[in-house]
């Protein structure tokens, strides 16, 4: 379908030109636009032409976490790792990661950008994560005969490959030497597209989550604040998540029976202040407790986290965890980070695109709520019934532990490309 391909290329070129303008109207787009402009300087100054490169691309923070177990095993003495992000929420959080040598935004999938990127990076291997399918980049990898794999891939019936307007992109999937898929349904969908070079390895996020429980997760200040009381951790919340639990939070603040820790998805000042103002009672701020330690003995029931990088440790203090994103359409955040600590998980209603949530619900470790009454009933029952809470928590911990191993499948395949590519 040359016409559709031509339209895509025209649209990509337009997006490349329009992104700086869009940045005037949207803060997130501004970050992405300015970051992509800097990408060329980063690549030009940091990529070493004398060392073979491994290009790893992820969409955002969640996909980065999926590929961490693999990044940790790549041989940095022999290869230089170039890590690219599509979204600001991923790049801005992980631009200083020590797991890659070069970190930048992925330039828009315009033909001119792709040619320039491939010329600067000259990858010897490409690793894509989940469902990052940029046709011009994939076609370039294919034409340059760069070994390419997909990690923790997902294919669904409703993806654009099955639509009249997106079927032309199917040929770009020929760039992949192997597809490591999360589940059998993805394998079936991929076979419908004509590809057999795939296997169900599982989701590397389970491996990443299982690592969390092995590290030191202590936060002494939280122990002082919680002071032996039951604790609800609300992770990666959005306004619609807070709205559905607001009535319960007000009631709990009156009794102060349960400590609540809220870690919003967006932690810049404007959003944190907006969250605080949405609650009709006073809350604590994490950074303020670090400055004024006496606040840790406050009788306030809610602590708002205004710092990134703490949530996975905070989950270890939860008796019940609410994972945000599914009350609205922003996307469910990572439930494994909470489940790995043997904590019952509560989420919103919109999780159809997240098979792991449906599976954990079927097993009895996860509860989906649709409204404020659902939230209150579910959370109250979990806190009041010790046996139910402990039982569902055990289900969650066992589920994570029993689904590890996807990383090893990928590493074995990478060793066939180069035995020295992976460190022991």
Same domain as 190, residue 231: no
| Beta bridge partners of residue 68, listed in sequence order | none
CA angle 332, 335, 339 (to 5 degrees): 165
Residue 68: the pLDDT is: 95
Residue 168: the pLDDT is: 86
31, 36, 43, 190: which is closest to 122 by C-alpha? 43
Same domain as 376, residue 275: yes
**Alpha-carbon distance 59 to 186, whole Å?**
19
Token readout for 99 is 């797991």
**Alpha-carbon distance 305 to 225, whole Å?**
13
Q: Tell whether 144 is covered by a domain.
A: yes
- Of 63, 65, 337, 356, the catalytic one is 63
Q: Tell whether 388 is covered by a domain.
A: yes
Q: Tell whether 137 is covered by a domain.
A: yes
Residue 32: the pLDDT is: 66
User: Residue 80's domain is classified under what CATH number?
Assistant: 3.40.50.11720
Residue 127: the pLDDT is: 98
Q: Tell whether 208 is covered by a domain.
A: no
- Which three-class secondary structure state does DSSP give residue 402? helix
Same domain as 344, residue 195: no
Same domain as 48, residue 184: yes
Same domain as 4, residue 55: yes
Contacts of 216 by beta carbon, 8 Å cutoff, 6+ apart: none
Same domain as 294, residue 190: no
Q: Where are the alpha helices (DSSP H) in 53-98?
A: 61-71, 88-94
**Structural domain containing residue 45:** 1-202+405-417
306, 304, 307, 349: which is closest to 330 by C-alpha? 349
Q: Tell whether 211 is covered by a domain.
A: no
- The domain tally of the chain equals 2
The continuous run of DSSP H or E covering 220 comes out as: helix 220-226
Token readout for 277 is 């103002």
Same domain as 133, residue 79: yes
Q: Tell whether 75 is covered by a domain.
A: yes
Residue 25: the pLDDT is: 55
Q: What is the pLDDT along the chain (424 residues), one digit of tens a residue?
A: 577 777 777 777 766 666 565 555 566 666 766 778 899 999 999 999 999 999 999 999 889 999 999 999 999 999 999 999 998 888 988 999 999 999 999 999 999 999 999 999 999 999 999 988 999 999 999 999 999 999 999 999 888 887 878 888 999 999 999 999 999 999 999 999 999 999 999 999 999 999 999 999 999 999 999 999 999 999 999 999 999 999 999 999 999 999 999 999 988 899 999 999 999 999 999 998 887 888 888 889 999 999 988 999 999 999 999 999 999 998 999 999 999 999 999 999 999 989 899 999 999 999 999 999 999 999 999 999 999 999 999 999 999 999 999 999 999 999 999 999 998 7
Same domain as 283, residue 161: no
Residue 26: the pLDDT is: 61
Same domain as 235, residue 166: no
Q: Tell whether 188 is covered by a domain.
A: yes
Please provide the DSSP assignment of 24-60 as one string.
TT-HHHHHHHHHHHHHHHHHHHH--TTS-EEEEEESS
Token readout for 97 is 């990661």
The residue assigned the tokens 């320039």 is 116
Q: Are 269 and 275 in contact (CB under 8 A)?
A: no
**Cα→Cα distances 375→276, 277, 327, Å:** 20, 21, 11
Same domain as 223, residue 197: no
Active site residue 288: no
| Strands, E assignment, 91-205 | 102-105, 123-129, 148-153, 178-181, 198-200
**Cα→Cα distances 324→268, 327, 334, Å:** 17, 7, 9
Contacts of 174 by beta carbon, 8 Å cutoff, 6+ apart: 142
Q: Tell whether 424 is covered by a domain.
A: no
Same domain as 281, residue 249: yes
**Alpha-carbon distance 63 to 69, whole Å?**
11
Residue 30: the pLDDT is: 67
**Alpha-carbon distance 275 to 372, whole Å?**
17
User: Residue 373's domain is classified under what CATH number?
Assistant: 3.40.50.2000
Same domain as 283, residue 180: no
């Amino acid at each position: 379908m040359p016409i559709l391909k031509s339209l895509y290329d025209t649209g990509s070129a337009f997006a490349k030109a329009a992104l700086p303008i869009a940045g005037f109207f949207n803060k997130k787009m501004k970050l992405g636009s300015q970051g992509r402009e800097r990408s060329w300087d980063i690549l030009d100054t940091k990529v070493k032409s004398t060392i073979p490169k491994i290009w790893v691309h992820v969409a955002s923070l969640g996909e980065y976490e999926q590929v961490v177990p693999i990044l940790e095993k790549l041989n940095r003495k022999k290869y230089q790792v170039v890590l690219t992000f599509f979204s600001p929420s991923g790049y801005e959080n992980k631009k200083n990661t020590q797991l890659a040598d070069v970190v930048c935004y992925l330039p828009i999938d315009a033909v001119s950008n792709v040619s320039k990127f491939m010329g600067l990076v000259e990858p010897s291997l490409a690793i894509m994560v989940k469902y990052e399918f940029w046709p011009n980049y994939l076609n370039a990898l294919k034409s340059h005969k760069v070994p390419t794999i997909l990690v923790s891939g997902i294919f669904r019936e409703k993806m654009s490959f099955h639509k009249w307007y997106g079927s032309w992109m199917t040929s770009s999937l020929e760039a992949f030497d192997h597809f490591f898929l999360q589940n059998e349904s993805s394998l079936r969908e991929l076979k419908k597209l004509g590809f057999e070079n795939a296997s169900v390895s599982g989701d590397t996020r389970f491996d990443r989550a299982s690592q969390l429980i092995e590290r030191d997760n202590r936060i002494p200040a939280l122990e002082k604040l919680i002071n032996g009381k039951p604790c609800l951790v609300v992770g990666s919340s959005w306004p619609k998540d807070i709205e559905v639990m607001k009535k319960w939070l007000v009631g709990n603040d009156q009794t102060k029976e349960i400590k609540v820790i809220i870690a919003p998805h967006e932690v810049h000042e404007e959003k944190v202040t907006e969250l605080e103002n949405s609650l009709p009672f006073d809350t604590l701020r994490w950074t303020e407790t670090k400055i004024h330690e006496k606040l840790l003995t406050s009788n306030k029931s809610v602590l708002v986290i205004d710092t990134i990088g703490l949530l996975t440790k905070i989950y270890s203090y939860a008796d019940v965890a609410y994972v945000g994103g599914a009350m609205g359409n922003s996307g469910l955040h990572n439930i494994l980070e909470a489940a790995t600590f043997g904590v019952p998980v509560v989420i919103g209603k919109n999780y159809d695109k997240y098979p792991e949530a449906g599976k954990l619900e079927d097993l009895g470790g996860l509860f989906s709520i649709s409204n404020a009454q659902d939230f209150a009933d579910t959370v109250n029952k979990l806190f009041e019934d010790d046996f139910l809470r402990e039982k569902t928590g055990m289900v969650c911990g066992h589920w994570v532990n029993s689904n590890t191993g996807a990383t090893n499948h990928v590493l074995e395949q990478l060793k066939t490309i180069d035995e020295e590519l992976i460190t022991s």
